[in-house]
Amino acid sequence: MKSLSYLAKRYKTDKLGVHNYIPIYESFLKVFKNKKIKLLEIGIGGYDHKNKGGSSIKMWSDYFSNGKIFGIDIYNKKFLNSKRIKTFCGSQNDIFFLKKILKNTGKLDFIIDDGSHINNHVIKTFIHLFPFLKEGGYYFIEDIQTSYMLEFGGDGFYLKNKNTSINFFKEIIDKINHQEIENPFYKKNYFDSNITEIHFYHNLVVVKKKSNLEKSNIMVNNSRIIESKKYKIKSLFQYVKYLLFYIRSRIFSFLDLLKI
């Protein structure tokens, strides 16, 4: 059985050597190696050269011998198409294009974003594609260092800039713990209920799709449980306190916008 590292060297993908992603990928994916998976990779490589690129697409096809591999690139890479590989030409920033792709692929086991690395593209793509992952699937975001690079819409000066990819994914940590957030005004979204893990590595983020149903042992509806004979009085004081903290949070949010 050929390891992912062996195949990465064979096909000369920059996921090994230039980057150190392969050992991380293998730690997550080895248990799926012989299963009938569906993997989508954004960014095929080779730029506008007609018959170049596809190193990692070929690697994934060999590694998942029973899987189907899909690739997206802004340049036509149909020379890679085969029985188990299918490529699509278009931009990850085009939601209509992505919807068309998903009609062809159906739900996916793994998604890898190795595309433009432009911050708003990365965020927009994740928001749209993540719901189409199967339960137990993984979403990988490569080259997250562009979060700190101005050329890609990143910000290496104000590291709390919420428009960067890295800060978007940092906020998912809160969503994993949404049941524990003491804030009755907190509004859950799809990601709160469907992410149980997020892993940060050097230039790589990994997110797991799984129903996040674990309850809090000290919160009910994002409020502390009140156990007292004076329940009505205490609940009133609690609500006033929550309201004041909510107003404070809105002020802080406004100040953050001014910083950007």
By the 8 A CB rule, do 228 and 236 touch? no
pLDDT confidence tier of residue 258, bands split at 50, 70 and 90: confident
Which range has the worst mean pLDDT, 23-37, 72-86, 223-237? 223-237
Instruction: Dump pLDDT digits (tens) for 191-232.
Output: 999 999 999 999 999 999 999 999 999 999 999 988 776 777
Q: What's the confidence (pLDDT) of residue 149?
A: 98
Residue 207 per-residue DSSP state: E
Q: Tell me the per-residue pLDDT of 28-60, one tens digit each, with 9 for 90 and over.
A: 999 999 999 999 999 999 998 888 999 999 999
In this predicted structure, what is the pLDDT of residue 254?
A: 85
* Cβ-contact 205, 144 below 8 angstroms: yes
Pairing of the two strands 85-89 and 195-201: unpaired
The whole-number pLDDT of residue 259 equals: 67
Q: Is 223 helix (H, G, I), strand (E, B) or coil?
A: strand
Q: What is the mean pLDDT of residues 239-249?
A: 92
Q: How far apart are CA 22 and CA 1, in angstroms?
A: 16
Tens of pLDDT, residue by residue over 117-154, are 999 999 999 999 999 999 999 999 999 999 999 999 99
Q: What integer pLDDT is reported at residue 231 of this predicted model?
A: 75
CB atoms within 10 A of CB 204: 19
pLDDT at residue number 227: 79
pLDDT given at position 215: 94
Distance between CA atoms of residues 113 and 91, nearest Å: 12
Between CA 57 and CA 69 the distance in angstroms is 7
Task: Look over the chain and give the mean of its residue pLDDT values, rounded to a whole number.
Answer: 95
Residue with tokens 């104000």: 158
pLDDT tier at 233, thresholds 50, 70, 90: confident
According to DSSP, the β-strands at 195-201 and 204-209 are: antiparallel
Which two structure tokens, joined as six digits, stand for 88? 């699509």
Is residue 248 classed exposed, middle or buried when 0-12, 13-18 and 19+ CB atoms within 10 A define those classes? exposed
**Catalytic sites, residue numbers:** 117
Please give the Cα distance from 5 to 152 (Å, whole number): 30
Query: What is the spatial distance between Cα 208 and Cα 85, in angstroms, rounded to a whole number?
Result: 24
